[in-house]
Amino acid sequence: MSILGLKKKQPKTFKVKVITMDAEVEFSCEVKWKGKDLFDLVCRTVGLRETWFFGLRYTVKDTYAWLKQEKRVLDQEVPKDSPITFHFLAKFFPEKVEEELVQEITQHLFFLQVKKQILDEEIFCSPEASVLLASYAVQAKYGDYDPNFHKPGFLAQDELLPKTVLMQYQMTADMWEEKITAWYAEHRGIARDEAEMEYLKIAQDLEMYGVSYFAITQNKRDTDLLLGVDAQGLHIYSPNSKLNPNKSFPWSGIRNISYSEKEFTIKPLDKKKDVFKFYSSQLRVNKLILQLCIGNHDLFMRRRKVDSIEVQQMKAQAKEEKARKKMERQILAREKQMREEAERAKEEMERRLFQLQDEARLANEALLRSEETADLLAEKAQIAEEEAKLLAHKAAEAEQERQRLEVTAMKTKEEKRLMEQKMREAEQLAVKLVEQSERRLKEADHLKQDLTEAKDAERRAKQKLLEITKTTYPLIAAYSAPPAPPAAPEAPDFAYESASMRLDFKDSDMKRLSMEIERERLEYMEKSKHLQDQLKELKSEIESLKLEEQQQQAGVYTLHSEAAGYVQEPVYLPHSNRNSAYMSQMAYYEEV
């Protein structure tokens, strides 16, 4: 076996990872590939035809460099890692994005890169412009604003504003989202590519847009400066200010740019102006500056020439593509509008259907309720009819009762009148009885006086009789009777006195008096009995009137009670006095 066969075989390919703004792609490249071969492969993979704006950038120590297309990949100062990492980025920026960016993929890549530079604060942007740019970024990502779909908080996970802007104002994330959403709602109807183009049109007016900055020193004084390279030319800045350049050299006014090791020379086109020299710290940075100057100057000159056939074809295709997309968007918008109108009509019909169903349901319920109400009303009508009959019957009974009460009232009035008449008669009778009792009492007093006088007369008569007897009795006894025993001398006087008294009481006046007294007693007893019967009848009538007329109970009862009490008083007192007089007379007669 030969010595060459024992040598280790060198690999014929190497791996490369290319990171674009929205994807990562890995390739297997041949060792002999140049930078242009890898770059063309990436462009074909991405679908990019405007290749002159882009390049493959890699990191070398503390700085970065762009892959040269005319040299082999492995012969350049690329990292020795596997896979080798490259970033596919925009190397040169257009002066007017709307005129120079033809392809949609080109403007999309520019949009993503510029957006990232603004968020990373590589490009300064004011808060107002940041909010407006964020609204276009949201429109490009989410499409038209729909309040039913885009609820509050739907932007919480998106990075839309630079950190310095967020820290500059004391506002919450919800407040920023509200401001962005207010602008976002006004972009309705803008397509994604149009929103991205509007974003780039605003961003290209920013002072730091498309500028690559390098640290330099000027002449022997070693003054720190910044060199800015962009599509317009070269600019000299103070270290603390990247917005306003101290001096500018437009590409149209530069005659030549050269460098020797670390020294850079800018020769103006006007020979009267001084040559500007500056120094860079590294040779690699000088090469990068020169590369960017050549590329930007070539594009500057290219813009001022007639477009190549390839660019014209691309612009024509892009124009046709835009017209087609515009037509499609119009058709889509019209179809969307028709669909929205159809959906609204459908929703309206569904709403109307639901409304009609609800109305039908309510009508059915109302019908059922009306039927139930009709049944209930019929039942109530029947009950009302029965109640009417009952009320009519009660009314008839009430009328009869009223008539009966009227008759009863009339009877009551008549009975009351009769009662009052009877009471008046009873009062008159009581008055008469009182008068009679008083008269009888007077007569009794007269009789007592007569009896007293009679007793006095009798006593005087007895005395006279005794006197006469005493004077005459001895003479009679002497002539007609035998002599009497001496033990009883007074016996003849007692017998004679008794005979004289009996003779006196058989007198006609005494008999007449006794008969009159007895007759009057009998009459008084009959009258008293008759009066008691009348009082009992009057009480029974009063009790019957109390039961019939309860409304007049108290008055009638009081009236009858007063009448009864008033009648009884004159009846009772004369009766008691009369009895006492009568008993006193009888006791006197028995004693006599």
Write out the H or E segment, with its range, that includes residue 456. helix 309-480
- By the 10 Å C-beta count (0-12 exposed, 13-18 middle, 19+ buried), 488 is classed as exposed
* Cα–Cα distance, 480 to 475 (Å, whole number): 9
Cα 97 to Cα 75, 141, 199, 234, 301: the distances in Å are: 35, 20, 10, 20, 16
Helix or strand or coil: residue 56?
strand
- Type of residue numbered 576: S
CA dihedral 540→542→548→554, nearest 10 degrees, is -140
Count helices and strands (H / E) in the chain.
13, 12
User: Are 496 and 469 contacting, i.e. CB atoms less than 8 angstroms apart?
Assistant: yes
The DSSP H or E segment spanning 84 is: strand 84-90
Residues 350 and 329: their CA atoms lie apart, in Å, by 29
Cα distance between the two ends of the chain: 208
Cα–Cα distance, 297 to 291 (Å, whole number) = 10
**Separation between Cα atoms, residue 542 and residue 553, nearest integer Å:** 9
For residue 22, the model assigns a pLDDT of 86
pLDDT tens digits in sequence order for the chain, 592 residues long: 344 443 445 568 888 999 998 889 898 888 888 889 999 999 999 888 888 999 999 988 778 889 988 889 888 888 888 888 999 999 999 988 888 888 889 999 999 999 999 999 899 999 899 999 999 999 999 888 888 888 888 888 888 899 888 888 888 888 998 999 999 999 888 888 889 999 999 999 999 999 998 888 876 566 688 889 999 899 989 888 888 888 888 988 888 888 777 788 888 888 788 888 888 877 788 888 888 999 999 999 888 888 778 878 888 887 888 888 888 878 887 888 888 888 888 888 888 888 888 888 888 888 888 888 888 888 888 888 888 888 888 888 878 888 888 888 788 788 778 888 887 887 788 788 878 878 878 887 887 787 788 788 878 878 887 887 776 545 444 444 444 444 443 433 434 344 444 434 445 666 676 687 778 778 777 877 777 787 777 777 777 776 766 655 444 444 444 434 433 434 334 444 445 554 555 555 455 4
Burial status of residue 148 (CB atoms within 10 A of its CB: 0-12, 13-18, 19 or more): exposed
The alpha carbon of residue 397 and the mean position of all alpha carbons in its chain are separated, in whole angstroms, by 57
| pLDDT on residue 480 | 43
d(CA 363, CA 462): 133
CA-based radius of gyration for the chain? 78
CB-based contacts of 365, cutoff 8 Å, min separation 6: none
The Cα–Cα gap between 276 and 219 comes to: 9
Strands 84-90 and 223-229: unpaired
Rounded Cα–Cα distance for residues 412 and 486 (Å): 90
- The span from the CA of 263 to the CA of 246, in Å, is 20
Q: Are 67 and 57 contacting, i.e. CB atoms less than 8 angstroms apart?
A: yes
In three-state secondary structure terms, 63 is strand
Please, what is the Cα angle at 425 between 419 and 429, to 5 degrees? Answer: 140
> What local confidence, expressed as pLDDT, does residue 110 receive?
94
Q: Is 70 helix (H, G, I), strand (E, B) or coil?
A: coil
CA dihedral 165, 166, 172, 175 (to 10 degrees): 30
Exposure string of 210-232, with b = 16+ CB inside 10 Å and e = fewer, is bbeebebeeeeeeeebbbbbbbb
The structure's pTM equals 0.57
C-alpha to C-alpha distance for 149 and 75, rounded to whole angstroms:
54
Distance (Å) of CA 582 to CA 16, 514, 527:
169, 11, 16
* Beta-sheet pairing, 84-90 with 212-218: unpaired
